[in-house]
Structure 1
Amino acid sequence: MLTSQPTIRPYQSYVYAYPHKTAYGRLDTHPTGRPALRELWAAERKDALSLYLHIPFCEVRCGFCNLFTRIGAPDELTTRYLDALDRQATAVRDALGDEAPVRFAAAAFGGGTPTFLTAAELERLCDIAERRMGADLRSVPLSVETSPSTATADRLAVLADRGTTRISIGVQSFIDAEARAVVRPQRRADVEAALGRIRDVRIPVLNIDLIYGIDGQTEDSWRTSLDAALGWQPEELYLYPLYVRPLTGLGRFGADVEAAADAAWDEQRRRLYRAGRDHLLAHGYEQVSMRMFRRAGAPQEGPADYACQTDGMIGLGCGARSYTTRLHYSFDYAVEMREVRTIIDGYTATEDFSRAEVGRYVDGDEARRRHLLQSLLQAQGLQLTDYRQRFGTLPGDDFRSELDRFEARGWLDGAADAAGLLRLSPEGLAHSDALGPELFSPAVRAAMAAYELK
């Protein structure tokens, strides 16, 4: 007797890093205790590092946002935060040592909103990256996030002068009513003015973030935002499905978190995703992942030889992650504003940054999962030879049941085998937010389930 296949919900979790920070734990409870950074980095390759500086401040908090950030920075909090960032950078650079070459292949400022800082504070942020860490910002790709209200001429001038090669602006919608619906107070006129200022400073790559699945959004209104963005000829566009997360503005006020299980909302997001994807492909954009689209011929944001699956990450700031081959580490994580403020206050008072505080050890199986996830969720797919060279096996050896399941659903591109690739089909890319979580290990699932929201 035939049995019906279970319904696959396409929007379950945005997998931008693995393991997720909610799977991290306090390292002082680990049998070996909090590891010294010098020991963690002693045997690591340090000639192609990525540097990330996190600024956890925003002028407003959007209704959908569950990132680690707070509204405003009273009582010279930004000064105290940059002081702590300077102390942390000094400790981390000392831990990296000079026994082997230390080189940064890429840098990024994120948040929060880095341009919440004043122009003078942005200068200091760049100085920390260069003078403390040794990153040459004018010779490596440097990406910075901004918002319409903080993309002021003086701030943008600093970023352009210090070598910024990519700027990403969160617009979400060019329709004022839709922006208000996701608790993002802004006017289209102000958005357009900010985009004009960004283009005036001639930063090579402009990325515009848009969101689909907003209450009341239609294919026509979605196309209006897409066309408004295309009018600026951005080198990149990110199309994000709306999520309603616990403890966010939408989750607390007026939006039913149970709507996340609503089949009608899933269908709206799926329909708008496909409309947006097809619209951008028709206008000369290439799909890089479910979310990312790059204009044909536009420069890439990062170095051509950077491998996110294997290269190390140095994160500075209380919301940043760092990655070595055996440990991912950060500071505590929260969404609720009171908890975020407490963590930031603790960070600014910290004097000793020589040891990792919160993290998760990444064993052989987890390293395989991370490599598969971060490769497979890209449109270009996973090079089988790269995987075999690193692990001595093939993905089919390690994840046979998962890959068979994906293949049965039509999520894999059968034609990619001949090119030595494991690659998603267009339908597989569309289901990235369902496919990714299915590759989480049981241990990571259990840790995430046990995490206490705060």
Structure 2
Amino acid sequence: MAGPTDFALNRFHELPSTLSNLEMYRASRDFLTDRGYEQITAYNFRKAGDPVGRAYEEGVTRWCDNMDTVGLGYAAISFFGDSLLPEGRSWSYMNHLDLRRYKQDVNEGRPPVAKGFRHTDQDWRLAMLFRNLFGRQVERAAYREAFDTDVRDEFATVWDALAERGLAEVTPDRIKLVGDGPFYTPMIRALLAEHRYRALRERETAGNGKSLVG
């Protein structure tokens, strides 16, 4: 419902408020956990001990595997790359937001891609952090081994603010989202990436010949 969708552009007033969404999240989370389900990601639960169950891929925390993901459909995102590639060899692609152009490319046998982005090392690190955070926790030792830096030190102000509000627990071993923390995963991702977002905005503005002041 985010982005340039009909709901976001024209019918946002019909959607529940953030507070209402939070209340529904708490009710559904408590309902499931009280009945023996375990929370494995921000939004996914499973019955513990299910003999035919399997790990939910988005909740698997790995740092050094490749992360090829193909997005199929209108406005979908594809991601290609792994930690063994040199900088600039990791990419993401966004399909057309214009449904007419999307259908035209598909019908004419072309990839319906609107934009492509080549990632820096920082982009790759953030992408891996976001993936692990979706599973509600980040293992500090694994992050340090993969990127030669401590995730606690790298984003200290964010983790401290979340811990003060009871949304995260920071220990020597891991950083874990607790309480309502998983509900706010999209906001937390935005906070972690704010410096990178700002740098990209400033670069784009500079490239357009506009002043960065104001």
- TM-score w.r.t. length of structure 2: 0.72
- State whether structure 2 residue 89 is matched by structure 1 residue 341: no
* Per-residue Cα deviation, 1:266-315 (whole angstroms, up to 9, x for no partner): 22221111111100011110011221111112312557977377423152
Secondary structure, in 3 states, of the residue corresponding to 1:372? helix
- State whether structure 2 residue 179 is matched by structure 1 residue 403: no
Distance, in Å, in 1 between the alignment partners of 2:70 and 2:95 is 14
Is contact 2:61-2:135 (8 Å) kept? Answer: no
Alpha-carbon offset, residue 341 of structure 1: 2.5
Relative to structure 1, is the Cα distance of residues 309 and 440 closer, same or farther in structure 2, using a 3 angstrom cutoff? farther
Alpha-carbon offset, residue 365 of structure 1: 1.8
Structure 2 counterpart of 1:283, from 18, 29, 35: 35
Q: Which moved more, 1:312-321 or 1:302-311?
A: 302-311
Name the counterpart of 1:392.
148
Distance, in Å, in 2 between the alignment partners of 1:272 and 1:317 is 30
* Per-residue Cα deviation, 1:231-275 (whole angstroms, up to 9, x for no partner): xxxxxxxxxxxxxx64325753xx3x2577xxx822222111111
Name the counterpart of 1:247.
5
Alpha-carbon offset, residue 430 of structure 1: 3.0
Relative to structure 1, is the Cα distance of residues 266 and 295 closer, same or farther in structure 2, using a 3 angstrom cutoff? same
Is contact 1:387-1:393 (8 Å) kept? Answer: yes
Is contact 1:366-1:441 (8 Å) kept? Answer: no
Secondary structure, in 3 states, of the residue corresponding to 2:166? coil
Secondary structure, in 3 states, of the residue corresponding to 1:413? strand
Is contact 1:315-1:322 (8 Å) kept? Answer: yes
Distance, in Å, in 1 between the alignment partners of 2:115 and 2:187 is 27
Higher relative contact order (CA 8 A, sep 6+): 1
Q: Which moved more, 1:383-392 or 1:297-306?
A: 297-306
Is contact 1:309-1:374 (8 Å) kept? Answer: no
Alpha-carbon offset, residue 343 of structure 1: 2.0
* Per-residue Cα deviation, 1:80-114 (whole angstroms, up to 9, x for no partner): xxxxxxxxxxxxxxxxxxxxxxxxxxxxxxxxxxx
Amino acid at match of 1:367: W
Instruction: State the percentage of identical aligned residues.
Output: 18
Name the counterpart of 2:191.
438
Name the counterpart of 2:70.
315
Amino acid at match of 1:385: A
Relative to structure 1, is the Cα distance of residues 404 and 357 closer, same or farther in structure 2, using a 3 angstrom cutoff? same
Matches within 5 A, 1:225-244: none
- State whether structure 2 residue 54 is matched by structure 1 residue 300: yes
Alpha-carbon offset, residue 329 of structure 1: 2.8
Relative to structure 1, is the Cα distance of residues 259 and 443 closer, same or farther in structure 2, using a 3 angstrom cutoff? farther
Distance, in Å, in 1 between the alignment partners of 2:42 and 2:196 is 26
Name the counterpart of 1:375.
132
- State whether structure 2 residue 171 is matched by structure 1 residue 412: no
Relative to structure 1, is the Cα distance of residues 308 and 251 closer, same or farther in structure 2, using a 3 angstrom cutoff? farther
- State whether structure 2 residue 82 is matched by structure 1 residue 328: no
Secondary structure, in 3 states, of the residue corresponding to 1:283? coil
Name the counterpart of 1:150.
none
* Per-residue Cα deviation, 1:207-228 (whole angstroms, up to 9, x for no partner): xxxxxxxxxxxxxxxxxxxxxx
Matches within 5 A, 1:160-239: none
Structure 2 counterpart of 1:363, from 117, 120, 133: 120
CA RMSD of aligned residues (A): 3.4
Is contact 2:91-2:117 (8 Å) kept? Answer: yes
Is contact 2:63-2:146 (8 Å) kept? Answer: no
Question: Which consecutive residues of structure 2, in runs of 5 or more, have no partner in the other structure?
Answer: 83-88, 205-214
Relative to structure 1, is the Cα distance of residues 399 and 249 closer, same or farther in structure 2, using a 3 angstrom cutoff? closer
Relative to structure 1, is the Cα distance of residues 259 and 308 closer, same or farther in structure 2, using a 3 angstrom cutoff? farther
Amino acid at match of 1:440: A
Distance, in Å, in 2 between the alignment partners of 1:331 and 1:378 is 24
Name the counterpart of 1:426.
179
Structure 2 counterpart of 1:265, from 17, 25, 43: 17
Secondary structure, in 3 states, of the residue corresponding to 2:41? coil
Distance, in Å, in 1 between the alignment partners of 2:77 and 2:126 is 22
